[in-house]
Amino acid sequence: MEELVDVRGLSCPQPVLVTLEKIKASRSNRLRILVDTDTARENIARMVKTVGWEVLEVEPQGIGYIITIGKAA
């Protein structure tokens, strides 16, 4: 199971900053991010591309989503 990062409730640009920090610190090639707004989901999807990662899957979770991101092939 990949590490689950909870960025729910954080205001801009924290969800992206936390996700990028976790990518830097992560030893695996996949992370799951828990978000509660569509804005955070879109921003994370946009920004992870800049470090060579991509969105693999988006699942609804409560009022938000779990986004699975991974290193781009």
Partner 1 sequence: MRSSIKNPFATTLGIIVTGGVIGILAACLQKLGNPPNMGICVACMERDIAGALGLHRAAVVQYLRPEIIGFVLGSFIAALIFKEFRPRAGSAPIVRFILGFFAMVGALVFLGCPWRALLRLAGGDGNAIFGILGLLFGVWIGTLFFRKGYNPGRSNPAPVPVGLILVLIMVAFLILRIIYPPVQGQAQSGVLFYSLEGPGSQRAPLLVSLFVAILIGFIAQRSRFCTMGALRDLILFRNAHLFSGIVSLAVFAFLTNLILGQFRPGFSNQPIAHSMFLWNFLGMALAGLAFALAGGCPGRQLFLAGEGDGDAALFVTGMIVGAAFSHNFGFAASPKGIGPHSIAAIIVGFVVCLWIGFAMKQKQQ
SS3 annotation, 53-73 = EEEEEEEEECCEEEEEEEECC
Pick 12 or 29: Cβ nearer partner 1: 12
What's the min distance (Å) between Cβ of 29 and partner 1?
19
From candidates 3, 13, 29, 72, binder to partner 1 by CB under 8 A: 13
Residues in contact with partner 1, shown as a per-residue x/- string from 36 to 65 under the rule CB under 8 A = xxxx-xxx--xx--x----x-xx-x--x-x
